[in-house]
Amino acid sequence: MTASAVIADEQPLLKVFLPRSVSVSSDIILLGDAAILTGSKHLVETASAVTLGRTSIGTGDVQLDRNAILSRLASADIYAAQIEFAGAPVVSVKRQSLKITGEQILKSAYKAITDNGLASACSWKAVTTPKDIFVSAEANQVTIHPAIENASTTSLRMRIALYKGQMELNAQAVQFQAQYQAKRAVALKDIPAGGLLSADNTKIETYHSAYPQANWVEPFGLVAKRTIRTNSVISGEMAANQKEQIIISRSQGVVIQIKRPGLSITAMGEAMQDGRTNEYIKVRNIDSQKVLVARVNNDGTVEPVF
């Protein structure tokens, strides 16, 4: 409700009607805005301009009782004997304001990111949530103007201003963090050293990263360099191509194994050179001291070549 002053020359006294609540458009509260005044023309004009205090956008209502109003009127040489009150014992005064929520501001910011072509390679997440803003304006008078101040592949800063026509009412900065879709391999179970990574023991997860992922490939077919525990993220240092993984070292004791249908022979030997899976190396038979050429098996045994 917006109070008004009605001038009536025939009434010598000042009548002050207090509504229960009233909204004002200015930060200065005038009695003429907070109450309905009738009575003497001179008294009404003087009382209308009496200030009762201040109110701010977004703060609580200001409560004014009759005693407070009498005190302020007395400063303008209008005394209690000349005043007649009606209406509520206390008037609640609030500042007329429009609330622009942080959600509205953020929505506008994300639209600006899309419109500027920055959402094609990654998504963006606000590091801080914009604050609600209260402005003295009607909804159809306010426009939101987001402006990108700086942007890189990993972060973005935007200034978001509220305008009433050509006048800037308020502004705040919002920082965004890039979120790139990335993949990683995770062990489903313990994988022993030399174990082959496969769909049975490794899963591929998608997650968000602050940095773009380059040249990532699924590790299936690689061999674990060491034991990989369950739920461990498998990095490039933890597995290698089978041909690159040395599983037998020079001077290492090895098992010489001959397997044929209906026949299985084993003997102890000594590797005379490093060996990778499926490579051919020289091995000395411990018993006979003969040197033979053998193929390296995935399990670390060797099989003589005849």
Alpha carbon 298 to chain centroid, angstroms: 47
For residue 190, report the phi and psi dihedrals to the nearest 5 degrees: -65, 130
**Structural domain total, the chain:** 4
**What does the alpha-carbon distance between residue 302 and residue 287 come to, in Å, rounded to a whole number?**
16
Of the three residues 138, 162, 179, the one that is the final residue of a domain is 179
Does residue 276 belong to any structural domain of this protein?
yes
In tens, the pLDDT along 169-222 reads 889 999 999 999 999 999 999 999 889 999 899 999 999 999 999 888 999 989
Domain limit, last residue, from 64, 96, 128: 96
Asked if 245 and 276 touch (Cβ cutoff 8 Å), the reply is: yes
**CATH number of the domain bearing residue 267:** 2.30.30.760
Q: What is the CATH number of the domain that holds 236?
A: 3.90.1210.10
Dihedral in degrees, nearest 10, Cα atoms 185, 187, 191, 194: 0
The domain boundary residue, chosen from 140, 155, 179: 179
Do 89 and 133 sit in the same domain of this protein?
no
Does 40 map to a domain?
Answer: yes
pTM of the model: 0.53
The phi, psi pair for 302, rounded to 5°, reads: -125, 150
pLDDT at 283: 96
Q: How far are the Cα atoms of 32, 71, 184 from residue 19, in angstroms, in the given order? A: 12, 19, 67
In the structure, what pLDDT confidence band is assigned to residue 104 with cuts at 50, 70 and 90? very high
In the chain, the amino acid numbered 120 is S
CA-to-CA separations, 149 to 153, 158, 193, 224, 246, in angstroms, rounded: 14, 5, 51, 47, 53
| pLDDT for the residue 9 | 45
Tokens representing 125?
């997440």
Write out pLDDT tens, residues 48-100.
999 998 887 766 789 999 999 999 999 999 999 999 999 999 999 988 778 89
Retrieve residue 176's tokens: 């965004």
- Is residue 1 a part of any domain in this protein? no
- CA–chain centroid gap for 165, Å, is 31
Q: The CATH number of the domain where 75 resides is what?
A: 2.60.480.10
Per-residue pLDDT tens over the stretch 252-264: 999 999 988 888 8
Question: Residues 5-30: what's their mean pLDDT?
Answer: 76
pLDDT band at 12; cut points 50, 70, 90: low
- Asked if residue 5 is part of any domain, the answer here is no
Does 2 map to a domain? no
Question: How do residues 115-168 score in pLDDT, each as one tens digit?
Answer: 999 988 899 999 988 999 888 777 788 899 999 999 899 999 999 999 988 999
CA 127 to CA 177: how far, in whole Å?
A: 6
Residue 194: the pLDDT is 85
Domain residue limits at 258 = 246-304
